[in-house]
């Protein structure tokens, strides 16, 4: 039998983190050519300031701080939820004891509690059978107090992941991974969109990054991030190149792109020298090195010297993914009433 328990977590801090390497959010529309002009102007200001003996910030890039934005979005959602009766309900299914999955699930539970959701974590041992797991999903589908269902991935290899995901009612699929929700996105009629791509789009849009007419490169074609994000960018009128392990001359694709999104899970695969000056860089990857440090899929330091705006790792896309999970649960709640 699974073990069901409520989540517990600390209250969210009231102060927004300002990244030590730059400003927190883009102010106003940001276009690549504006980023290049801004960089040239600020370099001139730096030179003039140094001549005058003034202290000038040497960091010209804009840090797209997903943590700060997610705090603001979650607070706005909490205000909406306080007026609801009953409150939205989110259930997360966790199979096994993978440390990374446990951390992710715990964070989701903490945020769910802060915004005012009812929330449950359903734990199964790593050797759970397929039928038992599917039966649990069926019960959650039938439970009127549950508005959103998320099965934490990856699942153990003996389980059929596709079958488990497809068992979720599309109306409760707050991870946006069922074929029904992916199909609606492909048709330009999205309902519940995968959380990480949705979080990337929210970060770009809320930060004032201009998308229409821009050349965008998405590196990685997973069903969870790359493919749905490419569709969202295309629907925002970007010209999108979706790259993968068989892409020839990846460097040249990156070099001509105004917007670069890396989502492959390979530490610093995208070199900073490839980034076009004034480009916007979104690093979805989170990779732990042997020394315990976290790095993204992009070589951050050199890339930041060239980019007009860039996400940090950690603190960039990750918090936005959880914020969009909360937004999807709220939308699922409203759609069912």
Q: What are phi and psi for residue 80, nearest 5 degrees?
A: -70, -40
Residue 113: strand, helix, or coil: helix
Residue 175 bears catalytic tag: yes
Q: Return the SS3 of 175.
A: coil
Cα angle 245, 229, 286 (rounded to 5 degrees) comes to 65
Distance between CA 93 and CA 135 in Å, rounded?
12
CB 257 within 8 A of CB 291: no
Residue pair 224/193 in contact (Cβ under 8 Å)? The answer is: no
Active-site option among 121, 152, 210, 297: 152
Which of 65, 147, 173, 175 is catalytic? The answer is 175
Task: Please check whether residue 110 is in contact with residue 102, taking contact to mean a CB–CB distance below 8 angstroms.
Answer: no
Give the integer Cα–Cα distance in Å for 48 and 282: 32
198 catalytic? Reply is no
Cβ-based neighbour number of residue 147 at 10 Å: 27
On whether the CB atoms of residues 5 and 120 are closer than 8 A, the answer is: yes
Catalytic residue, chosen from 67, 108, 172, 198, is 108
Residue whose entry in the numeric block shows the structure tokens 């999807």: 328
Listed residue (248, 309, 227) closest to 276, CA to CA: 309
What token pair was written down for 295?
């790095």
Angle at 242 between CA 240 and CA 244, to 5 degrees: 165
Q: At 82, list the tokens.
A: 């306080």
Q: Which residues are catalytic?
A: 108, 152, 175
């Amino acid at each position: 039998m699974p073990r069901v328990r409520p989540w517990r977590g600390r209250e969210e801090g009231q102060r927004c983190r300002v990244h030590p390497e730059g400003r927190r959010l883009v102010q106003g529309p940001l276009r690549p050519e504006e980023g290049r002009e801004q960089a040239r102007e600020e370099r001139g200001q730096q030179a003039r300031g140094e001549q005058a003996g003034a202290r000038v910030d040497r960091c010209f890039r804009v840090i797209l701080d997903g943590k700060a934005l997610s705090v603001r979005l979650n607070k706005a959602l909490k205000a909406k939820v306080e007026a609801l009766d009953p409150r939205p309900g989110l259930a997360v299914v966790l199979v096994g004891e993978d440390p990374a999955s446990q951390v992710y699930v715990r964070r989701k539970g903490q945020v769910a509690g802060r915004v005012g959701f009812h929330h449950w974590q359903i734990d199964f041992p790593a050797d759970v059978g397929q039928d038992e797991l599917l039966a649990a999903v069926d019960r959650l589908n039938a439970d009127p107090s549950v508005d959103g269902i998320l099965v934490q991935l990856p699942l153990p290899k003996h389980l059929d992941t596709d079958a488990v995901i497809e068992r979720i009612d599309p109306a409760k699929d707050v991870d946006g991974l069922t074929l029904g929700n992916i199909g609606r996105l492909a048709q330009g009629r999205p309902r519940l969109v995968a959380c990480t791509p949705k979080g990337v789009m929210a970060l770009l849009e809320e930060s004032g990054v201009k998308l229409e007419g821009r050349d965008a490169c998405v590196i990685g074609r997973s069903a969870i991030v790359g493919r749905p994000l490419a569709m969202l960018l295309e629907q925002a009128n970007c010209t999108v190149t979706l790259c993968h392990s068989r892409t020839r001359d990846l460097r040249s694709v990156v070099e001509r792109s105004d917007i670069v999104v890396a989502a492959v899970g390979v530490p610093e695969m995208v070199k900073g020298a490839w980034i076009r000056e004034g480009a916007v860089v979104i690093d979805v990857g989170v990779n732990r090195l042997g020394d315990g440090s976290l790095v993204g899929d992009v070589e951050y330091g050199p890339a930041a010297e060239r980019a007009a705006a860039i996400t940090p790792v950690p603190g960039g896309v990750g918090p936005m993914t959880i914020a969009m999970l909360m937004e999807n649960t709220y939308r699922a709640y409203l759609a069912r009433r």
